[in-house]
């Protein structure tokens, strides 16, 4: 299950882990104009872990999801 909310400066997507145990903590993705953050609570430390992706890194990740193992460079990468 997931939710999508549109805030003033970001689109917030929350991914809820459903199914059989063991389940993972919810993941929150905040999409801003200049990048994306991915956050998840670490239950061992009770701290939120955050990863920040630039727009280029996000495009590379999206491209990589459907490719086989290897090393790639997007054509036109870095040319905004």
Sketch the domain layout of the chain as residue ranges. 2-54
Residue with tokens 């280029």, as numbered in its chain = 56
The pLDDT of residue 66? 84
The three state secondary structure string of 20-56 is CCCCCCCEEEEEECCEEEEEEEECCCCEEEEEEECHH
Say how far apart CA 67 and CA 42 lie, in whole Å. Answer: 30
pLDDT digits (tens, 9 = 90+) for 35-69: 999 999 999 999 999 999 999 999 899 888 888 88
The pLDDT of residue 44? 95
Say how far apart CA 65 and CA 49 lie, in whole Å. Answer: 22
């Amino acid at each position: 299950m997931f939710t999508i909310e549109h805030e003033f400066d970001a689109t917030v997507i929350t991914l809820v882990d459903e199914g059989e145990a063991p389940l993972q903590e919810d993941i929150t993705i905040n999409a801003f104009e200049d990048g994306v953050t991915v956050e998840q609570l670490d239950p061992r430390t009770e701290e939120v872990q955050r990863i920040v992706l630039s727009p280029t890194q996000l495009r590379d990740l999206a491209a990589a999801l459907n490719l086989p193992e290897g090393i790639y460079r997007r054509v036109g990468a870095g040319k905004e």
